[in-house]
Structure 1
C-alpha cells in the first residue's frame, strides 16, 4: 500500500493519537493482558494467595463488629447489624481497592509507558478490572453470610447490587483518572487519596445508621451527605443484602432522588477526570 493510500485508509491512525476512554473498545486484547498481569501478580510469592481476599475483609469485619457493634452498642441499635456492617465494608473496600489501584496505575507501569505508545487510559481501566476481580471473593463471602441468615434472591436486590457496583466503579475511576494523572508529576496525589480513603468508611453509613445523621445534622448537611456517591452506593448494598432480612427497618427518605444525583456526580467526576487526564497525558513519558 502506498503512503498516500495509507493516509486515506479509515483504519490508519496517527501515532500518539487517542480517543480517550472510547479508544479502549479497539484495545480489548491489550486491556485483557494488563488485567491478567495485575491479577496474576497481586499475590505473587504469597503462601496463602487468594485466601487473603477472604481473610482481610473477615478481619476488618471482626474488628469493627467488636468495637462499634459490641462495645459502642450499634449491635443493639441496628437489626442484624452484622449483615448491615459487612454490606457496607464490602462496598467501601471496592471503592478503596479501585481508587488506590487507579491512582498508582501509571507510575506502576512506567516502564511500558516510556517505551511504547498505547492509550494511557488502558492502565487505570485495567486497574479497575483488577480491583473488581479481587472484590468478587468478598461479595461471595457476603452472599454466603446473607444466605445463612435467610436471604433470598429477588430482582430488586440484583438491581440494587449492580447499581451500587456501577456507581462505585464510575466514581472511583473518575477520581482515579484525576489523581492518577496528577500523581505522575506530584506524588502528593497518592497521599491525598490515602486521606480520602481514611475518611471513606466514616463518611458513609457503614458503622452507623443514616438516621443518626438525619436526626443530628442540619438539613442541608444531611442532603449533602446523602448525595455522596459512596453513601448512595452503601445504601444500595444495604438494600440488596440487609433490607430483605430487616424489612421493617426505616429507609432514608427520598433515597431514589439522592441516588440519581449521586450518579450525576459520579458521571461528572468521570468527565472531569478524563479531561484532566487528556490534558496531562502528553507529558507522562517525560515525567515518569
Structure 2
C-alpha cells in the first residue's frame, strides 16, 4: 500500500533546507547527552571499568595424595610462572593425617628472578584441620610479575608424628610447573591456587574511546547534513518524523495491547507481579532440592533470569502476530508498518518494568542491598528491547507468508530457554557445550543483569560491547528483512 499524499509531503519536507536547523539541534543534544552519559558511566562502573578477575588465575587441583610429613628440616617447593598482572593471594590445601598436630608452619612466596620475598605467613598446626585451605593475601596487589617464575616454599618446625602435609595432585602439570619435595623433583603439583586481577585495556584508554565515539557521531551527522543538502532522504530523520506524527496512535496501540492482556482478569495487572514470583517458587522448589545446585542467592539468580527471558518470549510472541492481527487496519489506513511490532514490544516492556518490583522484593528479602551499579540496568534493558524488536520484526514478516511460524517459534523458544542458564549454573555444561553460551545472546543479557543485581558491580566493558552488538545486529537484520517484504504484506493478509 502506497503512502498517501500528505505523508509523501511530510517525508519530502524532511529533505528541505529548514531541516538543517533540526539536524543541528539533534546533533547538539546527542553529543551533549553522549558526554554526560560517558561521565556518569565512568563513576557508576567503578574499578570494574579498569580491572577484571585475571584470566591467569590458577585454580586449585583436586587432591589425590599427600606430599610429605612437614617436619623440621623438610621443605616443599612449588615453582610456577605467574600470568597475573596484579597478584593478590595464594591458597594452599592441607592434610593432617586425621590427627592433632603441633608446631608452626611457614609459607613464603619468592620472586626467583630477583630472589625477593613477596609474601610470608605463619600458621599454627594445631589450628589446621583435614582439607583446610590457608590463604596468604598481600596488603597491596603485587605488580610487575607477569611472566616471572615464582617459588612457593613451605617449611615447618614440627616433630615426626605431629606434622602436617601439604596436599598435592600427582597428575603431570603443564609447562612452567616444578614440584620439589626435600629438594627432589617429583611428578605432580601442589594443591594451591593463585588469585589476582588484570588491567582492562579499554578501561585504561576509556577517555580516548569517548573522544573517538564523539568524533564518529559528529562525522555521521555531517554525512547526514550532506545528504540533506543534496535532496536525499535521511532514514533516521524520517523515522523520528513518523514516530512524532503517529505518537498518538502508538500510545493507543500500546494501551490496547496492555489492556487486552488482562481483559476480564480478576487480578489484572497483579499477574505481572505474581507470574515471575510463582514461576520462581515452583522452579526453586524443584531444582534447588532435586539437583541441589550450589548457587549463591539462588532465588535472585532464578527470578532475574525468569523475568528477562519472559520479556523476550512474550515480546517476540506478540510481535509474531502484529502484522496479521492488524490486517484490517493495514488495508484501510497508511501507517508505517514497523509501528505495529514496535508497539507490541513496548507493551511487553511495561510488563517487564512492573516485574522488576517483585525482583527488587526478592533481592531485599535475600539480604542483598542495591548499589550504584543498579543504575546501569537501563543500558541492558534498552539493548534487550532493541534485540527483541529485531527478532520480532523477523517473526512478524515470516508470519505473513508462512503461518506455521507461530508453531515453530513455540518450539524454538522452548529450546532457547533450556539453552540459557536460567535455573542451572553455567558450570554444569561440559566443555564441549560451552559454545552454546558464547553464541546465545540471551545468556549475555541474563548474565549482565545478574552481575549487577547479585554481585552489585558493573560487568566488564566487553559485556557492554557484546550486548550492544547483539542488539544492533538483530535490529539491522530484522529491519532489512521487514523493509524488503513489507510491500507484499497486503497481498497475503
Tell me the TM-score normalized by structure 1: 0.83
Higher relative contact order by CA 8 Å / sep ≥ 6: 1 or 2? 1
Match of 1:157 in 2: 374
Contact 1:164 1:234 (8 Å CA) reproduced: no
Q: Secondary structure of 1:105's match?
A: coil
Identify the match of residue 288 of structure 2 among 62, 69, 75: 69
SS of the residue aligned with 2:363? helix
Query: Which string of whole-angstrom CA distances, capped at 9 and with x for unpartnered residues, describes residues 161-193 of structure 1?
Result: 223212221211111101111101111222222
Q: Confirm whether residue 170 of structure 1 aligns to residue 386 of structure 2.
A: yes
CA distance in 1, matches of 2:9, 2:391: 37
Question: Equivalent residue for 1:228?
Answer: 440
Aligned with 2:266 (options 35, 47, 51): 47
What's the counterpart of residue 29 of structure 1? Answer: 248
For residues 1-288 of structure 1, the aligned pairs below 5 Å read 10-11=12-13, 22=240, 23-74=242-293, 77-159=294-376, 161-213=377-429, 216-218=430-432, 222-223=434-435, 225-244=437-456, 256-288=461-493
Deviation at 1:152, TM superposition (A): 2.6
Q: Secondary structure at the match of 1:162?
A: helix
1:137 shift after superposition: 2.3
Give the alignment's Cα RMSD to 1 decimal. Answer: 2.8
Q: Distance in 2 between matches of 1:165 and 1:134?
A: 13
Q: 1:33 to 1:164 in 2, by over 3 A?
A: same
Contact 1:164 / 1:232 at 8 angstroms: preserved in 2? no
Q: Distance in 1 between matches of 2:412 and 2:471?
A: 15
**What is the distance in 1 between the residues matched to 2:351 and 2:257?**
10
Structure 2 CA distance for aligned equivalents of residues 259 and 18 of structure 1? 28
Structure 2: segments with no counterpart, 5+ residues: 16-232
Deviation at 1:12, TM superposition (A): 8.6
Residue 167 of structure 1 aligns to a residue in which SS? helix
Which structure has more strand as a fraction of its residues?
2
CA pair 180-8 structure 1, distance change in 2 beyond 3 A: closer
How far the C-alpha of 1:136 sits from its partner, in A, is 2.1
- CA gap of 1:136–1:262, structure 2 versus 1, over 3 A, is closer
Deviation, 1:264, is 1.1
Q: Distance in 2 between matches of 1:163 and 1:54?
A: 23
Unaligned 5+ runs, structure 1:
none
In 1, distance between residues paired with 2:463 and 2:354?
Answer: 29
CA distance in 2, matches of 1:227, 1:78: 23
Alpha-carbon separation, structure 1, partners of 2:345 and 2:273: 19
Are residues 18 and 46 of structure 1, via their aligned partners in 2, closer, same or farther at CA, if it must alter by over 3 Å?
farther
Preserved contact between residue 380 and residue 467 of structure 2 (Cα < 8 Å) = no
Distance 1:9 1:255 in 2: 42
Q: Secondary structure at the match of 1:202?
A: helix
Cα distance, 1:167–1:9 mapped onto 2, change above 3 Å: closer
* Distance in 2, Cα, partners of 1:111 & 1:131: 23
Q: Aligned partners of 1:155 and 1:70: how far apart in 2?
A: 34
What count of residue pairs does the alignment treat as equivalent? 267
- 1:41: how far off? 1.7
